[in-house]
Structure 1
Amino acid sequence: MGKTLDNVYKHQSLAYKYFLYVVSVALIVFFFPKGGKFKYEFQKGKPWQYENLYAPIDFSIKKSQEEIAEEQQSIRNGKTDYYTFDTAVVAEVGEEIDKGLTTLFQSDSYSSQQRRTLSRLAQDLLEESYETGIFLDIPESKSVVVVKNNEALPMVPSNYLDVDGARQMIAERFSRLGISGALNASRLVQNSIKPNLLYDEALTQSALNDELSKISYTRGEVAQGKLIIAKGEIVEAEDFKVLNSLKDEYESELWLGNNYYFILLGYTILVALVLIMLFLFLKRYRNEIYRNNNKVTFIFFNILLMVLATTLMVKHYEDYIYVVPLCILPLILKNFFDARLGLFAHVLTVLILGFVVPNSFEYIFLQIIAGIVTILTASELYKRANLFISVGQITLIYIIGYFAFHAIHEGNLENIEWILFGVFVLNGLLTLFAQPLIYMFEKIFGLVSDVSLLELSDTNSKLLKELSDKAPGTFHHSLQVANLAEAAANEIGANAMLVRVGALYHDVGKMEHPTYFTENQITNVNPHDDLPPKESAKIIIEHVIHGIEIARKNNIPDRVIDFIRTHHGTTLVYYFFKKQQELEQEANEEDFRYPGPIPFSRETAILMMSDAVEAASKSLKNPTFTIIDDFVEKIVKGQMQANQFLNANITLKEIEMVKKVLKQKLTNIYHLRVEYPE
């Protein structure tokens, strides 16, 4: 049982990677649109590169979205407006006119004949005006239908009559009578006129919807076996529409029935192949990252995030697929790891998305070029201007690429979709969110970016300020080591910013007992004179442990704490060991040895060399070129003989380059000049 548990614990890291791999493949396939993939790639304006294509099935030629929109607009422009004939209004107006005339005729100024004439004319005008109905305003539509007694009666524009028109007609007819007092009767009738044709919005909209529903989304049929396009023939506009119709029909048919499982299997195999390439790359070329499950999870999380965002855009807003800022992926991975890994992961992600995006060749080409530009231009992201410059270049690449593909497809620069320029600009603006994303990922995954390293390198930060106050000599030593280590890291292509920050914090543990370290002793009194060598060695060794504790209390990232842990490796506190040997010949080395671990990266190895050289250089008296050369060689050789660099991925050539830089820097520090002959 014990051996079984040991095996489980031993292989749990590998088991987690298997689990992450399977889950990632399953999620990506689940994200993919539920549809098959047409086996031919084609573009308008380019030759058909395959054999003669005959229709494999009967299918309809689909109208384009532009054609359908044009038909819909045409129907809306020519829609029929429906009005309801309100008979109650006619009766109400008639009663109002009768009452008004009765009141008007009570005056003795009207004769019986005039009363009969005016009453008859008012009645005739009422019937004539309301025979077809009166609108409030003349309808703009040329097609008007009046619903009267549940019967739909079309009206011709010449019969349109509104309130103003009816009153004008009434005024003219009364003026022809030439009867005194007709003006009062005319005004009475005019004021009584009201519209009785009321707009029926619900009925109008219902009729419009019926017409829109009758639009056919296809135009013509293609019978099975008919030649669609011959080999080498240019894909013209009409051919392009037919091929797209076949593609849509083919893909929808593929996803039905038993084909579903085969398509699912095919997607799974292809995605699995792509992701296994990523694992192989990490294992072969980035083994340090491969062994760290947290970092592997971070990489897969970012890939899944890009795949999810893109597939959602394909499903819902296919025309705006370039809104997804895919170049955030290489930006973030380069910032946390390196350019090669960022580009490799980006290319694999683009290959995965190439299965589902429209115009896959165009998409893959543009995204890979944009990713390469991202890797080449994005550096030192802690400088805000660099990110803006990089994003501007990425956006420009998208725009130039779109121009080129449009020219190839159309053969001219007409019909350019200017909205895509806005899409590319929006893509660039979204790419700027790489900065807040980097901050979020640092907190979630415990990683360290150059932005955080820049903040930590500020000597006015709380912890470094405390170090300069409590142990000023150690602080000055740390600054000197940081300068040496940074120069050496730049020489061999290591992470100079990380080395500098590690050097600044590597001795923070000396704050616990600053006076026990010679650089902080401002008098000739040495507290070690009153302690046995073993006790002195213990205090010296414990500055590593104290440094780790202080760093963790101040939320210093683990990557920086690694420098505190490893800057002495497993070396001896040689001075006090020799003093102990003077007291007892059989002194135990383990009491005078640092606990380690030894350096495990180029950066931590550089710090160990720089720290030892800078500290020991304080003992040099009257240094010369030869003395400094021998001095550096002796210290680094001793570290190599003590096997301190066995776990660090630093080569002998790189160690030689580091020694060369250290010699040059020490020469500059001591202001050595060439001795001229007298």
Structure 2
Amino acid sequence: MGKTLDNVYKHQSLVYKYFLYVVSVALIVFFFPKGGKFKYEFQKGKPWQYENLYAPIDFSIHKTQQEVEEEQSTIRTNKTDYYTYSSTVVSEVRAEVSNGINTLFQTEIFTSSQRESLRNLSEEVLTDVYDHGIFQNMPQSRGTVVVKNNEAQPIAPNDYQNVELAKKAVTEYLSDANSYGTDRLSGIIRNNLKANLFYDNVLTESALNDELSKISYTRGEVDQGKLIISKGEIVENEDFKVLSSLRDEYESELWMGSNYYFILLGYTILVALVLIMLFLFLKRYRSDIFLNNNKVTFIFFNILLMVVATTLMVKHYENFVYMVPLCILPLVLKNFFDARLGLFVHVLTVLILGFVVPNSFEYIFLQIIAGIVTILTASELYKRANLFISVGQITLIYIVGYFAFHAIHEGNLDNIEWVLFGVFVLNGLLTLFAQPLIYMFEKIFGLVSDVSLLELSDTNSKLLKELSDKAPGTFHHSLQVANLAEAAANEIGANAMLVRVGALYHDIGKMENPTYFTENQITNVNPHDDLPPKESAKIIIDHVIKGIEIARKNNVPDRVIDFIRTHHGTTLVYYFFKKQQELDKDADPANFKYPGPVPFSKETAILMMSDAVEAASKSLKNPTYGIIDAFVEKIVKGQMQADQFLNANITLKEIEMVKKVLKQKLTNIYHLRVEYPE
């Protein structure tokens, strides 16, 4: 048991990677939509590439979403409006009319027969007017039903009337009566007319929902054994609908019963294979990232983020799957690492998502092309215009790609879903969120982006301002080294921004004892003259340790602190070692060596060469082309012989290119002119 725990502890980094791998596979498969995968790929307008396909089971042909929506729209357009007939209102009107007639009889003289005639006329008029009822608001629908005495009675449009039309009908009815007092009766009835038909929203919606629920989502059956499509036959519109219905039926059947576990196993194996490819790539081509669990976690986190976002979109809003800004992934990874890694991870993520998205071929094609465009166009993201230009090109690729696929499928430009253009534009706007996302990732995972490097390179920042005040000579030396190192990095394709920032901060440890370093001595007094060589060497060597402490105290990123650690590697403080040998021939060189480590990247190697060359160049008197050439060669050769570049991924050819740049820059610094032959 103890040995097992020891092995786990010794290989904890590898154990963590296994754990991250298993958790990532499990999470991805968990978020996958619950459905099997149809074994045939087909596209509208393309030939059927497989053998003749016969229906393996009985299944229904599903209507398309557009067909269903058209039926729903037709039902809503022709829906029946229900109105409630209020008998209470009619009774109130009758009572008010009766009171008006009684008042009329009291003010004027009528015979008994005239009174009876007027009362009968009022009843006839009210019965006729309220036969179908009077609408409060005239109905807009041609299908109108009045619920009267719990019975539904349809009303023809020519029977529709509101209060104004009812008043006209009363006037016309009584004008034909030709009896005494009808004009006064007409006024009484018209003044008391009220609407008694009221729109019943609850009943109308209930009836509409009932009609909508009767819509059939299928249109026909296909019997088992029937030929669906022959080999080489073009997949036309009807064939496409039948094949899509078979696919849906097949996938839903697959996920039932014992098939569930086999499908789960299949998904798990495929996702596991994809993520294994990522680990193999990192181990073979990006070993520094593979050994850094923080960076590996960051990469897997981004993959999971995109997979979860896309699978959730497919599950709830399948038609808007392109709204997920997948190109953020290569943008972010290129910003923190490099273009090759960013594209490789993007392609693997798209392959994983190909299992779950509709029209997987189109999706994979468009997303890979968009990812390539992202990698090729996105550079120097700290310049805001570059990000906007890149996002514009990504959006254009989506739109052009959609046009192309639509033309292939339909053979024309009819029925274009214009809403997808809005989706592509929204995708582009969401891709702009890469900038704040990069900032968040920097804080969460402790990484450094070009934006942060740009901020660190500001010479008015607190730490560099302090360096210029306390050790102005060192500050000027750092600026010179930054210029040399940046030029060399550009020459061999290294990260020039990172090298420049590393050069600006590499000697901040000299702020502790600035006068012990020659570039800060403004008088002829050298404090080392009063110290033994061993103690002087310790002060010089300690500026590396003190620089690391100052950098950490000021929250300088580890990626920049690496330049402070490695800019002297494990070289010897040669001047004081020689002075010690004059006192003691058996002096131990280990006491005069920097603690290291040696440079482990192109950038840190460039800084070591630039720092040594710039510092030593101050001793040159009357330099010429030949002197500078031999001088640079001697310094770099000494570093190579001391095995300072063994761990750096810099080639001999690149070292030669760096030396060439250093020679050119020193020539410019000393303003040398061409030497003409005598």
Instruction: Give the TM bin, normalised by the shorter chain.
Output: over 0.9
Report the CA distance between 1:460 and its aligned residue.
Answer: 1.1
Residue in 1 that maps onto 2:599: 599
Deviations 1:474-532 (A, max 9, x none): 00100111111111111221111111110000000101111110001111111111111
Supply the distance in 1 between the matched residues of 2:571 and 2:677 (Cα, whole angstroms): 43
What's the secondary structure of 2:146's corresponding residue?
A: strand
**5 Å matches for 1:205-216?**
205-216=205-216
Supply the distance in 2 between the matched residues of 1:535 and 1:4 (Cα, whole angstroms): 47
Report the CA distance between 1:178 and its aligned residue.
Answer: 4.7
What letter is aligned with 1:670?
Y
Supply the distance in 2 between the matched residues of 1:4 and 1:218 (Cα, whole angstroms): 61
What letter is aligned with 1:300?
F
**5 Å matches for 1:35-434?**
35-178=35-178, 181-434=181-434
Supply the distance in 2 between the matched residues of 1:181 and 1:422 (Cα, whole angstroms): 71
Residue in 2 that maps onto 1:506: 506
Report the CA distance between 1:76 and its aligned residue.
Answer: 1.8
With structure 2 as the length reference, what TM-score do the two structures score?
A: 0.97
What's the secondary structure of 1:154's corresponding residue?
A: strand
Supply the distance in 2 between the matched residues of 1:72 and 1:629 (Cα, whole angstroms): 84
User: Does 2:471 align with 1:490?
Assistant: no
Report the CA distance between 1:106 and its aligned residue.
Answer: 0.9
Deviations 1:580-636 (A, max 9, x none): 111222222222211111111111111111111110110111111121111111111
What's the secondary structure of 1:632's corresponding residue?
A: helix
Residue in 2 that maps onto 1:557: 557
1:137–1:163 CA contact under 8 A, matched in 2? no
What's the secondary structure of 2:524's corresponding residue?
A: coil
Residue in 2 that maps onto 1:586: 586
1:629–1:663 CA contact under 8 A, matched in 2? yes
What's the secondary structure of 2:152's corresponding residue?
A: strand
Percentage identity across aligned positions? 82
Structure 2: runs of 5+ lacking an equivalent: none
Structure 1 residue runs of 4+, over 6 Å off? none
Which one is further off, 493-502 or 70-79?
Answer: 70-79
Supply the distance in 2 between the matched residues of 1:2 and 1:575 (Cα, whole angstroms): 51
1:485–1:500 CA contact under 8 A, matched in 2? yes
Supply the distance in 1 between the matched residues of 2:643 and 2:16 (Cα, whole angstroms): 33
Which one is further off, 10-19 or 158-167?
Answer: 158-167
Report the CA distance between 1:179 and its aligned residue.
Answer: 5.0
Supply the distance in 1 between the matched residues of 2:84 and 2:421 (Cα, whole angstroms): 49
**5 Å matches for 1:444-523?**
444-523=444-523
1:163–1:193 CA contact under 8 A, matched in 2? yes
What's the secondary structure of 1:106's corresponding residue?
A: helix
Number of residue pairs matched by the alignment: 678
Deviations 1:641-665 (A, max 9, x none): 2221121122222222211211111
Which one is further off, 143-152 or 654-663?
Answer: 143-152
Supply the distance in 1 between the matched residues of 2:133 and 2:5 (Cα, whole angstroms): 94
User: Does 2:623 align with 1:623?
Assistant: yes
Deviations 1:561-594 (A, max 9, x none): 0110111111111111111111222222222211
User: Does 2:17 align with 1:12?
Assistant: no
Supply the distance in 1 between the matched residues of 2:69 and 2:130 (Cα, whole angstroms): 40
1:351–1:364 CA contact under 8 A, matched in 2? yes
2:118–2:181 CA contact under 8 A, matched in 1? no
Report the CA distance between 1:306 and its aligned residue.
Answer: 0.8
Supply the distance in 1 between the matched residues of 2:666 and 2:140 (Cα, whole angstroms): 92
Supply the distance in 2 between the matched residues of 1:178 and 1:356 (Cα, whole angstroms): 82
What's the secondary structure of 1:305's corresponding residue?
A: helix
What's the secondary structure of 2:215's corresponding residue?
A: coil
Report the CA distance between 1:335 and its aligned residue.
Answer: 0.8
Deviations 1:437-481 (A, max 9, x none): 111111111111111111111111111111111111000100111
What letter is aligned with 1:313?
M
Report the CA distance between 1:80 and its aligned residue.
Answer: 2.0
Supply the distance in 2 between the matched residues of 1:662 and 1:107 (Cα, whole angstroms): 123
2:569–2:599 CA contact under 8 A, matched in 1? yes
What letter is aligned with 2:46?
K
Report the CA distance between 1:163 and its aligned residue.
Answer: 2.1
Are residues 3 and 661 of structure 1, via their aligned partners in 2, closer, same or farther at CA, if it must alter by over 3 Å?
Answer: farther
Supply the distance in 1 between the matched residues of 2:157 and 2:675 (Cα, whole angstroms): 112
Deviations 1:171-213 (A, max 9, x none): 2233344556433221111112222233222222222221111
Supply the distance in 2 between the matched residues of 1:169 and 1:558 (Cα, whole angstroms): 92
What letter is aligned with 1:28?
I
RMSD (Å) for aligned C-alpha atoms = 1.5
2:454–2:497 CA contact under 8 A, matched in 1? yes
Report the CA distance between 1:537 and its aligned residue.
Answer: 1.1
What letter is aligned with 2:32?
F
What letter is aligned with 2:624?
T
